[in-house]
Amino acid sequence: MPKDRDGDGVLDRADRCPNTPKGAKVNRQGCCVLKGIEFDTGKSTIKSQSTMVLDEVVAVLMKNPSLKVEVQGHTDNVGTQENNQALSQRRAEAVMGYLVGKGIAEKRLSAMGYGFSKPIAPNDTAEGRAKNRRVQLKPH
């Protein structure tokens, strides 16, 4: 019988992010992708409509006080690798800053920008690029 040890609905053999915390919403790979986190193009300031999603993350982290996560920033492939790397890092740090500001201990979080090195969709369409501009959380 196939197993799903973390109970996120993704079988272990396909789960890229094992040990997802209870209550976290995950994508098909079992990773907690923060859908609805929006940034203006080329910016790292979190838009106000994104706070509802981030507040859900705060609630999950509060329910799982021993959980440590890496906040991962990603971009599409428009622009240079260097600029996208820096942008993805700033976005991850912005989300981490929001979580710390809501009472999550900084020692439980780390921020890492991956630029466009880990796409989840093809970058040859506007829809694919939009999916790749994301922030996700990976337990560690």
* Count of CB atoms situated within 10 Å of the CB of 41: 9
Query: 94 near 50, Cβ under 8 Å?
Result: no
Per-residue pLDDT of the chain (140 residues; tens, 9 = 90+): 889 988 888 899 988 888 777 777 788 888 776 777 877 778 898 888 889 999 999 998 998 899 899 999 999 999 999 999 999 999 999 999 999 999 999 999 999 999 999 998 999 998 888 888 888 888 77
Query: 137 near 72, Cβ under 8 Å?
Result: yes
The number of angstroms, rounded, from the C-alpha of 78 to the middle of its chain's C-alpha atoms is: 19
- pTM for this prediction: 0.81
Provide φ and ψ at 111, rounded to 5°: -120, 135
Domains and CATH numbers, the chain: 12-139 (3.30.1330.60)
Query: 44 near 87, Cβ under 8 Å?
Result: yes
